Amino acid sequence: MDTLYEIKTRIITFIEKNEIYVKPAAKFILLLMAYLMVYLNLGYYAKINNIFIPLILSVACAIVPMGLSAIVLGLYTAANLYGLGLEIAGVFLVLLLLAYLLYFRFARDKGFLVVLTPVLNMIGIPYTMPIATGLTSNPGSSVSVLMGTIIFYFLRGIKANEQVLLASEDALKTTKLHIALEQVLANKEMWLIVGVFFFINVIVYIIRRLAIKEAWKIAISVGGVVQLLLILIGKLVLGMPYGILGLILGSIVSVAICFVFQFCVFDLDYQRIERVQFEDDNYYYYVRAVPKVLVAVKEKQVKTFNETKAKREEEVEREIARELDIDPKNLK
Amino acid sequence: MVNEEKVRLMTKLAVFEENKGKKTIPIGDYYRSDFISKNLLLGFITGTIAYFLLFAIWALYQGEKLVQRLLALDFGHIIFLVIVFYGIFMVLYLTICYLVGDYRYRRSVKSLKSYKKALKRLENM
């Protein structure tokens, strides 16, 4: 366990030192995955079907705020859908507009969840999202996950109907429109997942806030099991008994990821390096504030033979430190 | 001679202004009622647009059924339903807007209090 904590500390230290590069790099990887998925699966519009476009866009979007990146990604996807027909692209844009009007007006910083959810859906581990957001945020943030889920199912439905949509070029425009709307309004599987995700998000949020031991671990376990059972039962009731193996495997992997996530995030003393500038009457200040890393890497191990006495002394020291509001190490 | 304590305090204030303060400080310019009213007004506009977009999606999807009803001259019934659902939708949405606005205002006032306290301390240094 100590080695794991040491690795965690090293990672945090590395991120703290190199935040200026790590953050855009992580954003670039996420966006590149999203753009490539759109390019490979939905590249219907020949005029923009060039690998350099997603590459350039993901590099450019890595350095702008996430809200703007999500909008650009949405527009790129809509442009690709235009290859299937104006109606399909139109329905997609209306979905994005609704998401903005109803939700992102309040929470612009949650844009990355809308991008991340479809990406995880494609990999087969979307079950991570409601648990992870329940652990780190409030139930309001589940709306971004739900919107990401709706977008994913819409795009998947369009992909599944591509033959019909491409063939019906001469057919009535209403057919295309109907197919596009059907992917959202009559998609029982999607509404099942949306309902379960919201429920799990709330459950995980409530459990992790309880004043019980290991609340986070219990929240992940309960969330993972209940989620699997609800989706399984829902699928059987709705008469969709396919993809069960993927569901079980995806759930197991998702719970494992959430445990790793919990280890990394819970009790995390991550504070970024701050670079600020200010001035008073006499000076200009250019300050780089570096956070103290609380656990020293490779701390020396001291073995005490008279354990009870040492423990008592340690307790007294801790008590004094708490009263004086200082670090107990300063007393040694 | 640089006053270390003063630099520490100024750094903390600057970090606040650069991060949390970007959203919080402008909220401090409003009275609570003004801030919430502004939120509700924006909510009313965006909510109305969103509702009619949703209605358009539903109407397009229903297509034939809706046309049949219109042909049966069931205008009154349809308009009644549209208005009732609009009312329910707006009440729910505006309640959420109110709660979010109220929560944000309270939270901002709380952090602005300690910010102002620190500013005063800096002034007295």
Q: DSSP characters for A57-108?
A: HHHHHTTS-HHHHHHHHHHHHHHHHGGG-HHHHHHHHHHHHHHIIIIITT-G
A287 inside domain: no
- The C-alpha of B77 sits at a distance from chain A's nearest C-alpha, in angstroms, of 23
With contacts defined as CB-CB under 8 Å, which chain A residues touch B61? 178, 181-182, 185
Q: Is residue A129 part of a domain?
A: yes
Asked if residue A250 lies in contact with residue A124, where contact means CB atoms within 8 angstroms, the answer is yes
SS3 assignment, position A240:
coil
Q: Cβ neighbours of residue A205 under 8 Å, at least 6 residues apart?
A: A134, A135, A137, A138, A139, A219
Domain boundary at A217, A243, A265, which?
A: A265
Shared domain for A313 and A236, answered yes or no, is no
Put simply, whether B109 touches A (Cβ < 8 Å) is no
Within a domain: residue A291? no
Dist. CA A161–CA A181, nearest whole Å: 12
Same domain, A79 and A223: yes
Nearest-angstrom CA–CA distance, B77 and A241: 40
B97-121 pLDDT tens trace = 999 899 989 989 888 888 888 888 8
Task: Name residue A35's beta-bridge partners.
Answer: none
CA distance B53 to A92: 12
Per-residue pLDDT of chain A (332 residues; tens, 9 = 90+): 677 777 877 777 777 777 788 888 988 998 998 899 889 888 888 888 888 998 999 999 888 888 888 889 999 999 998 888 888 888 899 988 988 888 877 777 777 888 888 888 888 888 999 999 888 888 888 888 898 899 999 999 888 888 877 776 655 667 788 888 888 888 888 999 999 999 999 999 999 888 888 888 899 999 999 999 999 999 999 888 788 888 899 999 999 999 888 877 765 555 566 778 888 777 888 887 776 554 455 455 556 566 566 677 777 777 776 766 666 665 55
State ipTM: 0.76
Contacts of B46 in chain A (CB under 8 A): 101-102, 105
Q: Give the pLDDT confidence score for residue A332 in this predicted structure.
A: 57
Is A285 in contact with B60 (Cβ distance < 8 A)? no
> Is A143 in the same domain as A237?
yes
Same domain? A6 vs A81: yes
Alpha-carbon distance A321 to A227, whole Å? Answer: 44
Instruction: Tell me if A328 sits within 8 A of A319, measured CB to CB.
Output: no
Residue A119 and residue A61 in one domain? yes
The pLDDT value given to residue A323: 65
| A306 and A225 in a common domain | no
CA gyration radius, chain A: 25
Residue A288 main-chain phi, psi, to 5 deg: -115, 105
Residue range B43-66, pLDDT digits in tens: 999 999 999 998 888 888 877 777
- Residue B41 contacts A, CB cutoff 8 Å: no
The predicted model gives B13-22 an average pLDDT of 84
Distance from CA of A182 to the nearest CA of B (A): 7
Q: Are residues A318 and A176 in the same domain?
A: no
Show residues of chain A in contact with B50, CB under 8 Å: 98, 101-102
Share of chain B above pLDDT 90, in %: 32
Query: Which structural domain range is residue A248 located in?
Result: 2-265
Looking at the domain assignment, is residue A323 inside a domain?
A: yes
pLDDT at B125: 78
Copy the structure tokens of residue A145. Answer: 């996950």
With contacts defined as CB-CB under 8 Å, which chain B residues touch A101?
Answer: 46-47, 49-50, 53
| Total number of domains in chain A | 2
Chain A residues closer than 8 Å to B13 by CB: 278
Q: Does B67 touch chain A (CB under 8 A)?
A: no
Residue A272 resides in a domain: no
Considering only the beta carbons, identify the residue of A91, A101, A278 that sits closest to B14: A278
Identify the pLDDT of residue A47: 85
Q: For Cα atoms A206, A211, A213, give the angle at the middle one, nearest 5 degrees.
A: 105
Identify whether A65 is part of a domain: yes
H helices of B19-74, where? 21-27, 32-62, 64-71
- Whether residue A290 lies inside any domain: the answer is no
- With contacts defined as CB-CB under 8 Å, which chain B residues touch A102? 46-47, 50, 93
List alpha helices for A128-171, DSSP H. 128-136, 142-160, 162-167
Helices (H), A186-243: 188-208, 215-237
Instruction: Mark whether A202 and A316 lie in a shared domain.
Output: no
A199 shares a domain with A104: yes
Q: E strands, A239-298, where?
A: 274-279, 284-289
A166 domain-assigned: yes
Residues 71-100, chain B, touching A (beta carbon < 8 A): 93, 100
Q: With CB atoms and an 8 Å threshold, state whether B57 touches A91.
A: yes
- Are residues A249 and A310 both part of a single domain? no
3-state class (DSSP) for residue A276 = strand
